[in-house]
């Protein structure tokens, strides 16, 4: 891995000393929010992880090097370049490395690099999944396949609300991915705390989740563990209101013919505008909430 992977000094020292480490993705910086809010949020999430007793490892690709842990200047660089940086999933990693380019890592790519770096816990906002209308478009996020194959605990607020949540859950079940509800029996729906869909396992403490992960690793079952953590109640949005705005955004997206990996960034930005910034504030708060839980899980790992 020395030929491809660099650690920040903070992350390297933490791993060598057996301290808890939490991986963070970089697409939330380059593709998730406008500058300078993206940089402010990334640094706030890192600070939240530290305050929770763990070490943050923001993951990215810079000049063809896999990075586990970014400096303040590197986060600023990603924030300023924004969507000019390539959004990288599993398929893109080899080409980006070979070309010596920069890459902002999605959930799938962050899972891969986290596993290579021996980091067990990864915090994100929401995972990708089966898009609405996928029966025709076949638009299914690589995040779901990665959860089935790469051994990392992923803490999120459910799948993004722009998706077909029922089909996403069916896909995860088919792939044998354990979907845990933290303190809930229902799948959270990103901006809201419930979706009406049951998770297959409820756990009420970080230690329970850590213990389940230890068993999964020791039995060599393979694949990841998906922990869904509801957005704090005070930041949860009204389901009727936010779903209406999502429907409007999707109709506009279809009109403009936006497809593939450009879909999620477009919809999130459009929904932010339609809700006058309310969805962005909810997004930030759910990521911070996930960072706290991810840190507690990491602290409970042996």
Confirm whether 270 is a catalytic residue. no
List pLDDT tens digits, range 137-163.
788 999 999 999 999 999 999 998 888
Q: Write down all domains in the chain, each with its CATH number in brackets.
A: 1-119 (3.40.1790.10), 121-302 (3.40.1790.10)
Provide the 10 A C-beta neighbour count for residue 259.
13
Residue-level pLDDT at 215:
97
Q: What is the pLDDT of residue 261?
A: 66
Residues 6+ apart with CB under 8 A from 168: 129, 130, 144, 159
Q: What is the pLDDT of residue 257?
A: 84
**Is 173 known to be catalytic?**
no
Q: What is the pLDDT of residue 240?
A: 87
Pick the catalytic residue from 67, 87, 160, 278.
160
Residues of the chain short of pLDDT 70, as ranges, are: 261
For residue 199, give every residue at least 6 positions away whose Cβ sits within 8 Å of its Cβ, in sequence order, or none: 179, 180, 181, 184, 185, 186, 187, 228
Peptide bond into 36 cis (omega under 30): yes
CA triple 40-43-47, angle to 5 deg: 130
Q: Model pTM? A: 0.93
Q: What are the structure tokens assigned to 143, written together?
A: 């995040």
Rounded Cα–Cα distance for residues 77 and 81 (Å): 6
What are residue 68's DSSP bridge partners? 7, 59
Contact present, 86 and 96 (Cβ < 8 Å): yes
């Amino acid at each position: 891995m020395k030929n491809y992977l660099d650690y920040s000094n903070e992350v390297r020292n933490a791993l060598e000393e057996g301290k808890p480490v939490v991986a963070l993705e970089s697409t939330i910086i380059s593709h998730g929010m406008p500058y300078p809010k993206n940089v402010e949020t990334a640094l706030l999430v890192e600070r939240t992880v530290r305050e929770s007793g763990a070490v943050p490892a923001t993951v990215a690709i810079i000049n063809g090097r896999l990075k586990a842990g970014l400096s303040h200047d590197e986060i600023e660089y990603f924030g300023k370049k924004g969507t000019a940086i390539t959004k990288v999933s599993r398929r893109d990693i080899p080409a980006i490395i070979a070309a010596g380019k920069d890459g902002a890592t999605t959930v799938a790519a962050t899972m891969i690099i986290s596993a290579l770096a021996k980091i067990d816990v990864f915090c994100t906002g929401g995972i990708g999944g089966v898009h609405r209308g996928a029966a025709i478009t076949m638009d299914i996020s690589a995040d779901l396949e990665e959860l089935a194959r790469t051994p990392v605990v992923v803490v999120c607020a459910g799948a993004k609300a722009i998706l077909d949540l029922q089909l996403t859950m069916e896909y995860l079940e088919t792939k044998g991915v354990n979907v845990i509800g933290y303190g809930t029996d229902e799948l959270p729906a990103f901006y809201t705390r419930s979706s009406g869909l049951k998770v297959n396992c409820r756990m009420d403490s970080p230690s329970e989740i850590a213990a389940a992960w230890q068993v999964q690793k020791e039995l060599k079952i393979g694949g990841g563990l998906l922990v869904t953590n509801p957005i704090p109640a005070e930041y949860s949005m009204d389901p009727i209101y936010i779903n209406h705005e999502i429907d409007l955004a999707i109709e506009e997206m279809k009109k403009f013919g936006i497809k593939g990996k450009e879909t999620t960034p477009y919809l999130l930005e459009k929904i932010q505008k339609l809700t006058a910034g309310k969805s962005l504030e909810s997004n930030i708060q759910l990521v911070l909430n996930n960072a706290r839980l991810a840190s507690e899980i990491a602290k409970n790992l042996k």
